[in-house]
Structure 1
Amino acid sequence: MPLDRTRLSVAVLVERLPPRIRNGYWTRLIPALALLAVLTHIPSFVRPVWSPDEGYLATQARMLADGGVLYDTVVDRKPPLLPWLYEACFAVFGSLSLWPLRVLAIGAHLVTALLMVSIARGRWGGRAGAAAGALYLLVSIGLSPADTQAATFEVFMLPSMVAAFWYAERRRGLAAGVATAVCALTKQTGGAVLLPVLWILFQDARRRGLRIPAALGKVLFGFALPIALVAAMLTKPRGFLFWVVTGSGDYASLDGDLLLMIGRALGNAAILGAAAFGLALPLLRHRRARRKAAAAGVELPERRAVSQGSTADLWIWLASTVIAVCTGFHFFGHYYLQLIPPLILLGVGAVSTSALSWRPVLVYSMVASTVFWCLALAWPGHRLDRSAKVATAVAEQTTPKDTMLVWGMHPEMYWLADRRPASRYLTAGFLTNYSGGKGDQKIGEQYSVQDAWKTFDQELSHHLPEIVVDDSAKSPYSPLRFPRIERLLDTHYQMVGLTGDTVIYRLVHR
């Protein structure tokens, strides 16, 4: 009986809502997209950690909660918003699981989808809006599962990136600037959306006869002010400037294995292309047909749409995201997530304003999404499984008061073992300039972050870690190539464990 009464009460409340709300476009669409967002990202909950970036953020959050200072005793080359979000979630829900971040990541995808619905609906009508939201969620898992199911920078950058474009469309320059700042404070390359934002408002000001400097000045003010406030009031300004802006020259340079970089760039582009092929093919066909028709002086038959204006702003947006993906020349798969919103909108526009059918687009996207969804559930993840085994072994041999040092590129070991890092440098990359996307060139102490070895030596001189995990294997940053690390291990440690090619050393107490 109580259940029947509850259902009756809900039904009565729904009936009392105005018909526009009860039967409205958004009322029907939001629950459907929310369900799709959950379904497509269910695999994110099957693993404790999906990527080293998640492990890095989780370890950072614990260090901040223990009194660490961002861009001083807690460092990374990324802006501060996501470390703070991880810290806030850990404060509320505890730091033993990333499920709250995964829930927030689904929320970020949903907000992104809804903003895209609004953009597409305003240009091409309600059906196009619904298609844009659904297709975004389907394609958003169209890369390696470690890149799409993890709660990392690009996922949380997307809502503010699309919001910046949405505000620019509506001539709200100040809000567009603020949204761009939030995007850049999540990840630096998010600031690339400033290019289409400025272009949209420039064209609008010129068309309406407004003062262009005043129109663009609002955007730039809205962009600069939040960044200045965060840098000056919530972090150490010099540290913020170095770690977020100026301190990544060698890391972001073109030096490296050119063939490896090209292969990674083309490989991830091909994967995303396969996921979005349902829209990419109609877009290419539509543009080819328009060019041929224009050359022949023939007008193509087009569907009636709310607006069939220029899509130049969307192409500029896509170009800006391509520039963002190429920045740093690493071409990791998760970088490509920012390509998806403008690509989806361009494809939706091509289908909406032509004689093309929606059915093959939607069917292909659903099939492709299902393939990537199943791949995520079956994803082997051997490397992260090894990290979990190493972390378990470390936890069994130490106490929570002990510290550890991971000489490698998998900082999730700190978080999985629940042990404090002995150094602010959570990966060997800061001390060696090694990164997974560029091969073995320019690796060495001389290419480290400025003063990193001096700081590292000072940290270890105060207190040697109880455990050192050598996760370098045959990599170019092996201790054999770094005498300081080799000398440290030979002088103070003995081997106590081996998992795969990862060696665990324990401090010898004399």
Structure 2
Amino acid sequence: MLAEVLGSPRSVVTSPVSGRGYWRRVLPVLVLLACVTRAPSFVRPLWNPDEGYLAIQARMLAAGGRLYETVVDRKPPFVPWLYEAAFALCGSDSLTSVRVLAVLAQLSTAVLLASLARRRWGGAAGRTAGVLYLLASIGLNPEDAQAATFEVFMLPCTAAAMWCADRRRWGAAGLAVACACLTKQTGGAVLVPVVWQLWRYGLSRTGLVRLGVGMALPVLCAALLTDPSGFLFWTVTGSAAYASFTGSELHVLFRGLINTAILAVACAGLIPPVVRVLRIARTGAAELWLWLASSVLAVMLGFHFFGHYYLQLIPPVALLATAALQILPRDRLATALFTSACCCTLFLAWGLLAPRPELAHAERVAEALGHRTDPGDRVLVWGMHPETYWLADRRPASRFLTAGLLTNYSGGRDGPQVGEKYAVAGAWPAFREEMTTHPPALVVDDSQGRPYAPDRVPSLRRLLAADYEEAGAVDGAVLYVRTP
């Protein structure tokens, strides 16, 4: 029985008659759940610095900036382009447009998972997979789960890759894998279960070529639309120091354990059925286990363990739980749904009620920037809160929107590998040229004693000493104005 339920990719084939009207009944439920679970995302102007980084990147691109040249980040181009397009249509004063897109992304992921489950185990399993996924999808710190950032837009691409592979549409599967990679590099982890399915169905030259071409074309187009060498550097070769495990090991590991525990609470309704089935037998749909295993490795890659990394684990866990529930007594399904609903309610309340002190700090600094500068002035915020530029509606004086790119202070790392010499290759010459060509009217030192403070960064310290004078402080951030 277990092999029939978990082992075959199409154990239950729904007939056209039994499937008539299926999505007409299921879609409204999934739409409602997607809207409810993402409701907290609309209650705050920003959830985390990544949203601020993307927002100001989009403004710079709209003003004529070029990605990987005058607008830089370690991420692929899809989400910055998505923000730019949303701002072009709806304006850049609010993130409501991209929040709506995030709702659609989560809904699309749920629909694809429901379709996968329905094809394998029947209509009831499809409903179960979609509902369980959405209930668990916000099961992290709200700043990780509710933000409209890379992982949220990556998930429908990974689910689409599995959906296409399940139907032997190898060209489309390759395209979906490429879209996942162009959203975030770790989205490429879904290639492992896709290749497994290609081999399982009978490895053919045609299928392999279609998969390879489907993957290569979007990546090649993205490289050509930006700067090919810059694209390669910023998305692949230029992040060695960032991905290093050295520095603040205990702090990073503690963060990983905390986020694992939080996600385990969110998946309290999903994990017990899977564990129960594992006690019966250790067999199952290998591609689902490979999807989960490759996603775990993707979360670990880089040794940062941010909470939003863990979103990648939820789709395969939801499908595995759905598979397990097919062979367990019916009351287990009710228990799983009830437990997941209760946990979802807990995280909803957290998202709606939890304070955001970092946002309040960025808003106070942004207000000071607005008062002390004119709309056309360039400013430099030396810190880890790029959202300050967006909140103040001021143009950054540098392409480097955080001090992390110039000091390797990243992911809470504050150990020995933080400093000017650990910056992204070529960053400091470019930064000095920017400060000379377009000197900022105001510099905000928002380091507050952290390892990237100006007294530990000689080039910045010399710049401030030569051309700027202290003009006050706001909420711990020191303001410097340019001397006549």
Which residue pairs with 2:415 in the alignment? 440
SS of residue matched to 2:470: strand
Match of 1:284, as an amino acid? Answer: V
Work out the CA distance in 2 between the residues paired with 1:22 and 1:165.
21
- 1:469 is displaced (CA, Å) by 1.0
Return the match for 2:401 from 419, 426, 430. Answer: 426
Is 1:318 matched with 2:292? yes
Aligned match of 1:92 = 89
> For the residues of structure 2 that align with 1:27 and 1:449, how far apart are their CA atoms?
51
- 1:132 and 1:499 map into 2 onto residues whose CA distance is 49
Instruction: Measure the CA separation in 1 of the matches of 2:342 and 2:416.
Output: 41
- 5 Å-filtered alignment, 1:261-340, equals 261-290=252-281, 310-340=284-314
Paired with 2:472 and 2:125, the residues of 1 have a C-alpha distance of: 58
Q: Which residue does 1:140 correspond to in 2?
A: 137
Seq. identity, %: 55
Residue 469 of structure 1: SS of its match in structure 2?
strand
Q: Displacement of 1:453 after TM fit? A: 0.5
- Deviation readout 1:359-407 (Å, 9 max, x if unpaired): 1101110110000000011121101111011101111111111011011
Letter of the 1:51 counterpart: N
- For 1:413 and 1:223, the matched residues in 2 are separated by 37
1:212 paired residue among 176, 198, 204:
204
Q: Which string of whole-angstrom CA distances, capped at 9 and with x for unpartnered residues, describes residues 399-440 of structure 1?
A: 111011011111000100000000000000111011024332
- Per the TM alignment, residue 21 of structure 1 is displaced from its structure 2 partner at its CA by 11
Question: Which piece of structure 1 moves more, 63-72 or 485-494?
Answer: 485-494
Q: Which residue of 1 aligns with 2:320?
A: 346
Say which SS state the counterpart of residue 324 (structure 1) adopts: helix
2:42 to 34, 40, 45: 45
Would you say how many aligned residue pairs link Structure 1 and Structure 2? 468
Residue 202 of structure 1 contacts residue 216 of structure 1 at CA under 8 Å; is this kept in 2? no
Residue of structure 2 in register with 1:62 after alignment: 59
| Within-5 A mapping of 1:147-226 | 147-205=144-202, 212-226=204-218
SS at the partner of 2:473? strand
Tell me, yes or no, if structure 1 residue 398 matches structure 2 residue 373: yes
User: Scaled by the length of structure 1, what TM-score is found?
Assistant: 0.89
How far did 1:20 drift?
Answer: 7.3
Which structure has the bigger radius of gyration? Answer: 1
2:239 corresponds in structure 1 to 248
Once residues 288 and 52 of structure 1 are traced to their aligned partners in structure 2, the CA distance between those partners, rounded to angstroms, is: 43
Q: 1:136-177: per-residue Cα shift (whole Å, max 9, x none)?
A: 111110000000111000000000110000100111111100
SS of equivalent residue, structure 1 residue 495: strand
Matched, 1:119 2:110: no
In the alignment, the residues of structure 1 paired with residue 415 and residue 139 of structure 2 have an alpha-carbon distance, to the nearest angstrom, of: 29
Runs of 5+ consecutive residues of structure 1 not aligned to the other structure: 1-18, 206-210, 292-308
Counterpart of 1:54, as a letter, is E
Amino acid at match of 1:109: Q
Contact 2:68 2:230 in 1 (8 A): yes
User: What's 1:454 paired with?
Assistant: 429
> Structure 1, residues 168-203: CA drift from partner, whole Å, max 9, x if none?
011111110000001100101101100100001111
* Counterpart for residue 452 of structure 2: 477
CA deviations on 1:436-456 (whole Å, 9 max, x unpaired) are 243323011111111111010
Encode CA deviations 1:79-99: one digit per residue, 9 max, x unaligned. 001101111111111110000
Which deviates the most, 139-148 or 428-437?
Answer: 428-437
| Aligned AA (1:57) | L
2: CA distance, partners of 1:267 / 1:53: 20
The alpha-carbon deviation at position 23 of structure 1 amounts to: 6.8
Paired residue secondary structure (1:78): coil
**Cα distance change of structure 1 residues 348 and 22 upon mapping to structure 2, 3 Å threshold:** closer
Alpha-carbon distance in structure 2 between the residues aligned to 1:63 and 1:264: 33
TM-fit CA distance, 1:310: 3.6
Residue 340 of structure 2 is matched in structure 1 by 365
- Structure-2 separation of matches of 1:430 and 1:483: 16
For 2:22 and 2:472, locate their aligned partners in 1 and report how far apart those are by CA, in whole Å.
Answer: 60
More displaced 10-residue stretch of structure 1: 263-272 or 181-190: 263-272
Q: What TM-score do the two structures reach when normalised by structure 2?
A: 0.94
Alpha-carbon distance between aligned partners in 2 of 1:20 and 1:47, rounded to the nearest angstrom: 46
Q: Give the match's secondary structure for 2:239.
A: coil
Partners of 2:252 and 2:412 within 8 A in 1: yes
Preserved CA contact (<8 Å) 2:299 2:310: yes
Aligned partner of 1:105 in structure 2 is 102
* Rounded Cα–Cα distance in structure 1 between residues aligned with 2:246 and 2:473: 34
The DSSP-based 3-state class of the residue aligned with 2:269 is helix
CA contact (8 A) 2:364 2:475 kept: no
Cα deviation, residue 496, structure 1: 2.8
Contact 1:493 1:506 in 2 (8 A): yes
CA contact (8 A) 1:331 1:437 kept: no
Match of 2:388 in 1: 413
Amino acid of the residue matched to residue 334 of structure 1?
Answer: H
Structure 1 stretch displaced more, 258-267 or 106-115: 258-267
- Name the SS for the 2:303 alignment partner: coil
Computed over aligned residues only, the root mean square deviation of the Cα atoms, in angstroms, reads: 1.6
The whole-number CA distance in structure 2 between the counterparts of 1:353 and 1:213 is: 37
The match for 2:75 is 78
